[in-house]
Structure 1
């Protein structure tokens, strides 16, 4: 390998350092960058309707989940069916969106299901007046790592079958 001159070598070192650090943060004040392969967005496949189910969670009882069993959350800053989580917030807390009317699985009250239109034009699923989100920090179905977190100006909570927030901590 041939020797690089001082300025070229310095530039190469800066470029390598930038590349190495590029995956270390998602820009969210201290939240580690999620592994995208592990944390898929709950947005259904093109043309699909979101499906809500109930899932058993340690210490929390039966909670609302998407069709793949991933935990769904409400954002306490949302005081109506209109979402206040966008930009960086939606990157960490992806909204549950749907193409078509959302479907209620066993134990989910279909009369509490609706949608709201996000600023980007996508339809977000709403349950009992709460826009729904998943959490990038949940690595697998049934994880509740977002429960009680205070991020982006308010707390995040799982919901019970009636659509009310559960405020206690999980045991997982």
Structure 2
């Protein structure tokens, strides 16, 4: 009996560790009933009007413009200190309008990914050079200048949640040092700043 008790007790930490590991690996997963969001069509006057109507008004709580699983997506700018993921638009003379994060860091798309269905083909060393923009379960996402209907997320192989724009997973470039840097533009003929609808931001 004593021996059996010793074995049982020694197994408890292992079992608990396994539960924690499973929890970490499934940290992203969509809630029951949620579905991956396919690439959205280009914004129309009506969708732009809907996004504008969802813009937060001073003194009022923001209105959810879209929900994907557990992720709430708002139109407009997050209040300071909320810890939300922010998407903004930058207008660059060289490439036109493209998406940045709340700090002004450029975001890119990868031609070897897919938008329908949304899927990332950048992992390992690729994801070190091109870190994905991710969102956690305790965060919301705000989109200013980007139609919220164009925004969503996918679950990566490592269990993290990567933001998508127009169905395309979006990334940073590790060599961009300052807000507004676009050193990743055109790298390998497959990496481009992402336009507000998920298309490539390229010179006209």
What TM-score do you get using the length of structure 2 for normalisation? 0.55
Bigger proportion of residues as helix:
2
Counterpart for residue 75 of structure 1: 110
Residue 167 to residue 56, structure 1, CA distance change in 2 (3 Å): closer
* Residue 104 of structure 1 pairs with residue 143 of structure 2: yes
Q: What CA distance in whole angstroms lies between the structure 2 residues aligned with 1:158 and 1:61? A: 10
- Given candidates 173, 178, 187, the residue that maps to 1:149 is 187
Matches within 5 A, 1:1-12: none
Counterpart for residue 9 of structure 1: none
Counterpart for residue 84 of structure 1: 121
Q: For 1:114-145, what per-residue CA distance to the aligned partner results, in whole angstroms no more than 9, with x for missing partners?
A: 00001111100001010000101111000100
- Specify every segment of 5 or more residues in structure 1 that has no aligned partner in the other structure, as ranges: 1-46
CA drift at 1:63: 1.1
- Given candidates 83, 86, 90, the residue that maps to 1:51 is 86
* Residue 135 of structure 1 pairs with residue 173 of structure 2: yes
When structure 1 is superposed on structure 2, of 75-84 and 159-168 the one drifting more is 159-168
Q: What CA distance in whole angstroms lies between the structure 1 residues aligned with 2:184 and 2:105? A: 12
When structure 1 is superposed on structure 2, of 133-142 and 155-164 the one drifting more is 155-164
Q: What CA distance in whole angstroms lies between the structure 2 residues aligned with 1:114 and 1:77? A: 19
Q: What CA distance in whole angstroms lies between the structure 2 residues aligned with 1:86 and 1:167? A: 25
What TM-score do you get using the length of structure 1 for normalisation? 0.64
Q: What stretches of structure 1 move > 6 A for 4+ residues in a row? A: none
Aligned length: 119
Aligned CA RMSD, in angstroms, stands at 1.8
Counterpart for residue 116 of structure 1: 154
Counterpart for residue 17 of structure 1: none
SS at match of 2:154: strand
Counterpart for residue 24 of structure 1: none
Counterpart for residue 60 of structure 1: 95
Q: What CA distance in whole angstroms lies between the structure 2 residues aligned with 1:49 and 1:125? A: 13
Residue 167 to residue 62, structure 1, CA distance change in 2 (3 Å): closer
SS at match of 2:196: coil
